[in-house]
Amino acid sequence: MRHAPLLRTGLSALLLVGAWAAAGPSPASAAPTESAPAPASAALLTAMQRDFGISESEAVTRLADEKKATALEPKARRAAGSAFGGAWFDATSRTLVVAVTDTGKADAVRAAGADVRVVEHSARQLDAAKARIDVLPAPDGVSGWHVDPASSSVVVNVVASERRDNDVRAFVAKARTAGPVTVKATAEAPRTFAAGTVGGDPYYTGNVRCSIGFSVHGGFVTAGHCGGAGQSVRGWDGSAIGAFQGSSFPGDDYAWVNVANGWWTVPVVLGWGTVSDQLVRGSNEAPVGASVCRSGSTTRWHCGRVLAKNETVNYSEGAVHQMTRTSVCAEGGDSGGSFISGDQAQGVTSGGWGDCSSGGETWHQPVNEILNRYGLRLHTA
């Protein structure tokens, strides 16, 4: 970021050395050495222990297992070929599970190193069914829908109190004609997590406060609902950072902001002065079932699991596609902040339901989609 005459401790110190990513589990820092990097920082392990109810050694083991599963998924997908029905990480067996529609492919998938589950529908069939549902107008009582490989169906999430609503029932009936559908109840409808201007760090657009996501070369990525293309962005100290160079919402929920005016970028996720900062080393996508952590300008560090991918989320402003649903909580002002798994960037906070007192769920827009959309390059350590 930019130089300033008055330095603050903790968060501010980092903000003064670069455009930062205000989110994610935060470790940080020692310079890389010739040996392999540690699986996680003490801060990330502490957050996982708190939110998963596990020991430090269990957290270390889980991260190692998830890293292995993440690397294995492309190989297992190739082994399954057209019979591929999806994949997810099973925390109980500590393995990647791959669904296949053809038992003849099971041995090849097992040979690749994954467990196998035989299902009725392929991933291609489920994606096609979801695409047909995507074109249907959804009432407010439908919170979203996603492909679920474990049930080999498209799961339609309905707000429990609205399940008997005529419009909701009509939507579900039409969705069932698109392909295999499972209906599940959710406690609340999703909402975005922007907030009015309050004291704190992050960035401001007009009267809206959001959280910075991951640093990219030349700027940072964040949520699209936080500002439109051309809108100026101010930092925690009120100084100009840059402007939204691209923004999409609804339909998508992503944007990127250029960094100028003496600010610059660093490949870290902010530790908020209470934990060390997490170095970002890449953006390999964690599988369903893997742990993931989030940091934002309101609620800071929280962890949970990846619950679903490629979900369409039905906000009141309109549907947003290709989202990842997690069991992580968030609150107003956390929008745009980073989701991270180990040291791998996952996405930027979009919205959800609940809060960090009573719990809830939060969706993020995958970071690789944002990078590809705007031709950006993630700033990594």
- Annotated catalytic, 82? no
Under 8 Å between Cβ of 26 and 274? no
Catalytic, out of 152, 215, 295, 335 = 335
Between CA 270 and CA 378 the distance in angstroms is 16
Catalytic, out of 253, 277, 334, 343 = 253
- Annotated catalytic, 167? no
Catalytic, out of 26, 143, 146, 225 = 225
Q: b vs e for 8-35, b when ≥16 Cβ sit within 10 Å of the residue's Cβ? A: eeebbebbbebbbbbbbbbbbbeeeeee
- Annotated catalytic, 93? no
Show which residues are catalytic: 225, 253, 335
